[in-house]
Homo-oligomer: A and B are copies of this chain.
Amino acid sequence: MKAPNAYSADCPTRQILDRVGDKWAVLILLLLREDPMRFNRLRRTIEGISQKMLSQVLKSLERDGLVRRRAIATVPVTVEYSITPLGVTLAKAVDPLRDWAECHLKEVLAAQRRYDGQTKAAA
């Protein structure tokens, strides 16, 4: 850490935050922490993700060393995705956020209603 102006793109936090910010990445990570899964199983479980996105996100997660892909040469190919130890540590770092979400979502929604009310009143 040099200048406090690590609020530039070179900040590691930024890079990780971008990953975490990914609409699906963390979700998949949390899912795989529960159980290893096959492609279509993930697809069905998440329900809302397109096959393109799933494929894409899985690849990037694998690239980051957060998820492991294991192909089994059965008759129709079987591919199993599982979380890596590194992925587990990230998932753990995400847990507080999960907890925060569950604890404070109501407050956030309330704040939104309040804000929208004032805004509409002003209009």
- A residues near B, CB below 8 A? 4-5, 7-9, 12-18, 20-23, 26-27, 31, 34, 45-48, 62-66, 86, 89-90, 92-102, 104-105, 107-108, 110-112, 114-116
Contacts and interface: CB of A to CB of B under 8 A. Distances in A.
B45 A100 contact: no
B20 A97 contact: yes
Task: Give the number of copies in the complex.
Answer: 2
Contacts of A94: 97
The prevalent SS among residues of A at the interface is: helix
A96 to B, nearest CB: 4
Contacts of A108: 15-16, 64-66, 86
A107 B93 contact: no
